[in-house]
Amino acid sequence: MIRFILGLVIEGLIGGVALRAALPGEQNWTIPQTLGIGLVAWLAIGLVIRVVLGVVAGLILPILLIGGLYLWFASKRGGARPRR
C-alpha cells in the first residue's frame, strides 16, 4: 500500500506540472499550489479507483481521467482544438 501511495504521489507531482505547462495562457497559481492540486487530485482519484477496480487500474486510470479533464478544460479556454 505504501508503494502504491508513493507511486500516486510521484504521478501527481509530475502530472500537476505537466498539465500546468500544457494549459494555454497565464495561470494565477504558484508552482506549489499546482503541485498540491495535482497531488490531491491524483491521490483521491487513485485511491477510489483502487478500491473499486484494483491496484493496476488505480495507477493507470487517473492519467486518463485527469488527461480528459485537461482536454475538456482547455477546450473551454480556447486551447486544445479537436482535429478536423
Domain boundaries defined on the chain: 2-21+28-77
Measured CA to CA, the distance from residue 29 to residue 32 in angstroms comes to 8
For residues 36-64, one letter each, b for 16 or more C-beta atoms within 10 angstroms of the residue's C-beta and e for the rest, the string is ebbbebbbebbbebbeeeeeeebbebbee
State pLDDT tens for residues 35-49.
Answer: 888 788 888 888 888
Please give the pLDDT value at position 79: 55
Residue spans of beta strands (DSSP E) within 6-69: none
Question: Does the pLDDT value for residue 70 go beyond 80?
Answer: no
For 30, list phi and psi in degrees, rounded to 5: -80, 170
C-alpha cell at 14: 509530475
Question: Does the pLDDT value for residue 2 go beyond 80?
Answer: yes
Question: Does the pLDDT value for residue 84 go beyond 70?
Answer: no
Q: What is the number of alpha carbons within 13 Å of residue 50 lying toward its C-beta?
A: 15
